[in-house]
């Protein structure tokens, strides 16, 4: 089984687990059929430290990040509220030793190093 098939199977198991969770009145906790789309605007500001996002104090939904951070982030993110820990993909950068979650990044946003296969 290749890496993509394993990852896809893991995602399917996680989604089944999410769908089976019920709240205290025996109703589904999550509605995975209903989609919510949040659009954020990210502007490049190279004065911002790599790996950080700073919200605009004036415009809601506007964030600032360095060019390296912007290039490193995955542009389409799938999130399920507080359950992100269950599908986390923790990684420690071999170069700068930063701890991050690979589900959000294409490479290390702090130092720009590619991820090593583990």
Cα–Cα distance for residue pair 46/51, rounded to 1 Å: 11
pLDDT for the residue 53: 95
pLDDT digits (tens, 9 = 90+) for 92-113: 999 999 999 998 899 999 999 9
- Which residues in the chain come in under a pLDDT of 70? 1, 19, 21-36, 77-86, 118
pLDDT for the residue 66: 97
pLDDT for the residue 58: 94
Cα–Cα distance for residue pair 44/66, rounded to 1 Å: 5
| Tokens encoding 33 | 């059929």
pLDDT for the residue 84: 58
3-state helix, strand, coil in the chain (%, to 5): 30, 15, 55
pLDDT for the residue 117: 80
pTM score, whole prediction: 0.62
Q: Domains of the chain: which residue ranges? A: 1-33
pLDDT for the residue 34: 65
What's 73's DSSP letter? B
């Amino acid at each position: 089984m290749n890496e993509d098939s394993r990852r896809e199977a893991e995602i399917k198991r996680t989604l089944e687990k999410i769908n089976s969770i019920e709240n205290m009145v025996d109703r589904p906790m999550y509605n995975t059929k209903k989609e919510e789309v949040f659009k954020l605007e990210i502007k490049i500001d190279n004065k911002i430290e790599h790996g950080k996002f700073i919200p605009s104090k004036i415009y809601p939904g506007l964030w600032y990040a360095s060019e390296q951070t912007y290039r490193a982030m995955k542009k389409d993110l799938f999130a399920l509220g507080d359950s992100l820990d269950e599908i986390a993909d923790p990684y420690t950068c071999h170069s700068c030793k930063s701890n991050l979650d690979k589900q959000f990044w294409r490479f290390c946003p702090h130092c720009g190093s590619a991820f090593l296969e583990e």
